Amino acid sequence: MRKVNIGEGCRKYRVCTDIIHIPSTQINNNIIIELANSFTHYYLYSKGENLGVEFVSREINNLQLYYFTDEDIPIEEFISRLKKTENEYWDLSKIEKKALTDKSDNNITFFY
C-alpha cells in the first residue's frame, strides 16, 4: 500500500475528520463510495464551501475515509457543519410521492 505524507503547508487538508470506518459488502461497497462523493458535491453546492473526501482503504468488507476542507475553521465547527449538512442531505430522500408521480400513475420507479 502506498502512503501519502501530507505536509503542514498543504492547505487542501487544513482541517480533517478522523478516519471513518464503514462496514460494507461487495453489494453495497460502490454505493457507499458514490454516496460519500455525492455528499461532497451537495456540501459544495449548498454551502459554497470546499469539502473533499479521501478513501484510506477500499476493502470489500470495510471502507475507510475521511473528509477534509481547506477552510480555516476549528475542527469543532467543521464537524458541526458536516453533521448539519448530513441531516439536510438525507432529508432530500424524503420527497413526497405526490411530487414524483403523474396524476394518472401512482407507481414510482427510477429504473425504467
> 3-state secondary structure string, the chain?
CCCCCCCCCCHHHCEECCCEEEECCCCCHHHHHHHHHHHHHHHHHHHCCCCEEEEEEEECCEEEEEEEECCCCCHHHHHHHHHHHHHHHHHCCCCCHHHHCCCCCCCCCCCC
The pLDDT value given to residue 5? 55
Q: Is the pLDDT of residue 62 over 50?
A: yes
**Which domain, by its residues, includes 16?**
11-94
The pLDDT value given to residue 92? 81
Q: Give the total number of structural domains in the chain.
A: 1
Query: Residue 61 sits in a domain of what CATH number?
Result: 3.30.300
pLDDT bin (cut points 50, 70, 90) of residue 91 is confident
In a domain, 63, yes or no: yes
In a domain, 46, yes or no: yes
Q: Is the pLDDT of residue 101 over 50?
A: yes
The pLDDT value given to residue 13? 74
In a domain, 22, yes or no: yes
